[in-house]
Structure 1
Amino acid sequence: MRVVVQRCKEAKVTVGDSVIGQIGPGLMLLVGITHEDTEKEAAYLADKIAGLRIFEDDEGKMNRSVADIGGAILSVSQFTLYGDCRKGKRPSFIAAARPDVAEPLYERFNQLLRDKGLVVETGKFGADMDVQLTNWGPVTLMLESHQSSMAETL
């Protein structure tokens, strides 16, 4: 799994003319899933994101998590995170999981975040969405689940 994490002041996702997910201060997540991903990867990233200290404390240091600030999460599925642009001019999405695999794992990932006491709004899986956000900082990080296996070997 790959997740682009953006600290935001506000974010929302619209499908057609309807806002289907909206948050104030918190984290905007773009979530990509590949063929090998399982609940293990989803749990690793949910735990990492829930505890990620990227909000400033009273001394201006990044020492607070989204829960510490009472923030929320807007999670949007994004298969294009597995786009491969190494050959030609058109991305290949072969590495992205098929919707029948990706959607249940995306939903499970969001539930794992909720199980940690976080408010999680979502986009609509597979829909053409408009996403707006005010990136705060800006702070943007890329997390990958394969880092969990690397960390276990260190």
Structure 2
Amino acid sequence: METQELHRGRLIDHIQLVVRDLDASRAFYTAVFDVLGVPMGGTADDYFWADELFVSTADSEAAEGKLTGRHHLAFQAQDRAAVEAFHKAALANGGTDNGAPGERPYHPGYYAAFVLDPDGNNIEAVYHGEAKRSAPSVKVAF
């Protein structure tokens, strides 16, 4: 049976790429996002972003001062308890602590935990605090 409708929520909150040459990456992403109509932000010397993609240098504060693997991937959590459960489950299943559950300075209510997966990728679970969603998911109809 052919799929006629999908419901997509926000499994992936954001992705961070730590790059060797920020100027080259900025030029590349500016070009491709201009074509795709995706606005870019960030004028700092060590990062920029577009939608939920965050690109930084290794020495950016956002990169936690060290390369941890090939990628940083953040998943949205429903609440603080889910962030804590994520951290516990990750550590029990081959992950390494890279930031215990707690408030982060990114915005008020940002509560997150970080682990390194078995390959050294920096994986995060984040709860953005009390907020009202406009919809539980995006409906895609074919």
Return the TM-score normalized by structure 1: 0.22
Return the TM-score normalized by structure 2: 0.23
Q: Which has the larger radius of gyration?
A: 2
Higher-RCO chain (CA-CA 8 Å, sequence separation at least 6): 1
Higher helix proportion (structure 1 or 2):
1
